[in-house]
Structure 1
């Protein structure tokens, strides 16, 4: 019995050392800026002896354009659910079968059979949240829970509003403000949306990302923004509040996936399984301040997230949230034309 035990221990040690040897190397992740926990990366690097490189992008459009070009050198990417079907259809992602990984049991059931990746054959949850409006109360004391903040700015905010240049967030906000439904192809509604956006643009100060610091330092007094980013601003500046547009607002999920032409596939699979561990998912949320979709991760998050108004959607605004889905190609083309005109 002792000999068998000794042999088993030796075999286990050899197997472990072999796994570590195979894991050693590199991993290159292409992710949204200011969205990856340094502590998470350090923990993974030390555990598996893998050197991790993070490269930032600022929009779904930027990310997919870069990958389509090829020769990018990345192993993993974090697309939003609204565009993930495009990545899959174009053959840009590896069918890595995270649903067969050890830690997949930790994925919250509501995030398993998602329309953008049914059964999770390509991706795992990274973080999810909402897109609304952030307002500095020192500049505007009215109701922040409306898309009028950027589409019909009150006098106090004219010339002080930013709009994040993310089409799949801004278009749904504008469409619902004008009485339509996301992914509508109604030409009359879309003409009103186009006209409203073009009318509003001169009243904005910018169309830019990176609002966490700018809102906190009063460089921008209002912005279309994401909930976690706004919470990080509020923690620095208590005058910053997050508004849930009563006309309707998008709910989204960003998802970690492995690229079809990844050079470090095994390390990427290790990382995919790693982030489905509740403690590690909690580290992701603790850094960026968004929910993550992994059961049991809540106890590893900061206490101030448990009742934060940016994270826990107030009861009166829950019915106004609409999950951001991929629109039909013909509708997406119309949105792209409107968006291109807006950015001129």
Structure 2
């Protein structure tokens, strides 16, 4: 029946994707149609841009060949879950140039993923975990997908945002781009309420919700979103700051302090580097200095120095208890 043709074409395409080659008779049997119908359906797929090639042989056959363009792919349930998990994994990888395309592809996939598969994917997230703590807080892939889709569709998005100090606020922003930098994901967006551009850390975003309102194309801040993010990250204000000259190579310090933003580490020579430290508590600065495992000189405010001396005294008392 003519009404079944689209469904039959999808099934035919699925069959062609599962094996290198099919004979016309095999396809006709699988689809419960005549050989003539198979030939017509093959012509329809070719007209849609699918590179179906005829093969020679006793009975002849068909195969789906590589083409100039990537045609739409049909995935079975298990294959869709596998692709989604793979995209989520690659989105957090350190392979240059792969993270952002993975997020865009994941956004496209999760947009069309059936509800039954979404629940299976959530179940996978709940039972899977890292064997070691991540050097930086991970961003939820579902949050990344929502934000990436909002950027693509130029749709205003609302969410709850947790500040570095622990407080939270409701935001309604015009999203521009999702960018990764130094192991973290950021949403670059214009905040009308504050009349300014913002770089939101995605791991601090909660319950993102597309509003349905369009915002139109936006001119990127600083003429380039990546340049804007680099400036915001390196100039982020902290309650306390210090500058340490450390007797260790920059690469060594970055390995020992994985949460440190690389832009804050400046090599001085092959054996020394300068590190800009910042935190909202002086105790965190002390932790960072101890974690370097190297000798250093410190340039800091009197308040920071006084607190560090008190911390050092407490540690010395613990390390050398009275006999």
TM-based fold match above 0.5: no
Q: Which has the larger radius of gyration?
A: 2
Provide the TM-score with structure 1 as the length reference: 0.19
**What TM-score does the superposition give when structure 2 sets the normalisation length?**
0.20
Q: Which has the higher strand share?
A: 2
Return the structure number with greater relative CO, CA threshold 8 A, min gap 6.
1
